[in-house]
Structure 1
Amino acid sequence: MTFNWAAFTAAEPELARTVEDRFGQFTHHVLATLRKDGAPRTTGLEVRFLNGELWLGMMPNSLKALDLRRDPRFALQANPGAGTEMAGGDVRIAGRAVEVRDPEAVALYVDEVKPPDPMEFHLFRTELTEVVRTYIEDGTYLAVELWQPGQPVRRTRRT
């Protein structure tokens, strides 16, 4: 069973809203992919939540796009922002990126996002394997919310 953003939102609407809000605070975030030799590669990326999907759009033949074509596993971390506050906590999403070449799906994305070169870019939709939020609760506890497909959110707290 694959979980796209719509399925995650239906399963855990409160956490999904928090994650979208957290990603919405900044334009650029950090994407981790795997190089040919298996080493991690981190790069900046804009993400979009549109039409029930979490989309990753990339410049043509960018290394991150080539990484995902070879090995679709990724991790995505919301930009922590300036200072130490991280309003909304630290949010991470992991999963698999599936390249989309269907002209209709690409056209919907282009109409909404208006990429710099609408004829030349890579577009990936995501299949989620994990969503994690870490934050300070009540000024005292380190709280972690962990969601994985087919499971309810697990919440833990540490002092």
Structure 2
Amino acid sequence: MATWAEFTAEQPDLAAFAESRFAVDRHALIATLRKDGSPRISGVEPDFAHGELWVGMMLDSLKSRDLRRDPRFSLHCTTTTASMTAGGDAKISGTAEYWTDKEQYLKDLYDRTGWMPEGGELDLYRLNVTEVVSLTVEGDEMIVLSWHEGRGIRRVAKK
């Protein structure tokens, strides 16, 4: 499992692309696995801070319970038809690491955004990555760049 910082060191261009796509609309979708194994899609606001990828969520939310039980996730930037042609699409998959030492993260979050969760309480996860994918449109082709841990990057053009 690679941290976001490790992935960025290996694939700086793809990392920058993914970060830029998630920055367009802070709201993203995260897929987790329910207790019965079926998928759950939830809204989340990913935070790329100090070289790491973080997600915070309400205490003991269903998605948080999912991640504590089974840390696998898939994260997808907000995409519309227009955004595909205007900039592209990004997806990140891996495992979520429950983070109990939140004090420094929350201080930094407040310093950067001026926002603090009510009472300073949230469930915090650092996302480690196994796959990062970008989709862009070039002319009449869709270009898929996919990075998988241990395999490197692959480029596929689809008409």
Q: Under a length normalisation based on structure 2, what TM-score does the superposition of the two structures give?
A: 0.90
CA RMSD after TM alignment: 1.6
2: CA distance, partners of 1:32 / 1:76: 6
> What is the deviation of 1:150?
2.8
CA distance in 2, matches of 1:34, 1:73: 7
- Counterpart CA distance in 2 for 1:107 and 1:85 is 31
Gaps spanning 5+ residues in structure 2: where? none
Structure 2 residue aligned with 1:149: 149
User: Quick one: structure 1 residues 108 and 8, their matched pair in 2 at CA, closer, same or farther if it must change by over 3 Å?
Assistant: farther
Instruction: Kindly indicate whether the alpha-carbon contact (under 8 Å) linking 2:106 and 2:116 is maintained by their aligned counterparts in 1.
Output: no
The aligned amino acid for 2:121 is E
Structure 1 CA distance for aligned equivalents of residues 93 and 23 of structure 2: 18
Offset of residue 107 of structure 1: 4.0
Residue deviations 1:5-49 (CA, integer Å, cap 9, x gap): 111111011111111111000021101000000000001111100
* Residues 103, 62 of structure 1: alpha-carbon distance in 2 compared, 3 angstrom cutoff: closer
The equivalent residue for 2:122 is 121
In structure 1, the residue matched to 2:19 is 20
Query: How does 1:53-132 map onto structure 2 within 5 Å?
Result: 53-81=52-80, 83-86=81-84, 87-111=86-110, 112=112, 114-132=115-133
> What secondary structure, in the 3-state scheme, does the structure 2 residue paired with 1:153 have?
strand
Letter in 2 for 1:151: R
Q: Report the 3-state secondary structure (helix = DSSP H, G, I; strand = E; otherwise coil) of the residue aligned with 1:136.
A: strand
Change in 2 beyond 3 A, CA 1:103/1:42: closer
Partner of 1:5: 4
Deviation at 1:61, TM superposition (A): 1.1
Question: The residue matched to 1:55 in structure 2 has which SS?
Answer: strand
Q: In 2, are the aligned partners of 1:110 and 1:118 still within 8 Å (CA)?
A: no
Identity of aligned residues (%): 44
SS at match of 1:84: helix
In structure 1, runs of 5+ residues without a counterpart are none
What's 2:136 paired with?
135
Q: Is the 8 A contact 2:83 2:89 kept in 1?
A: no
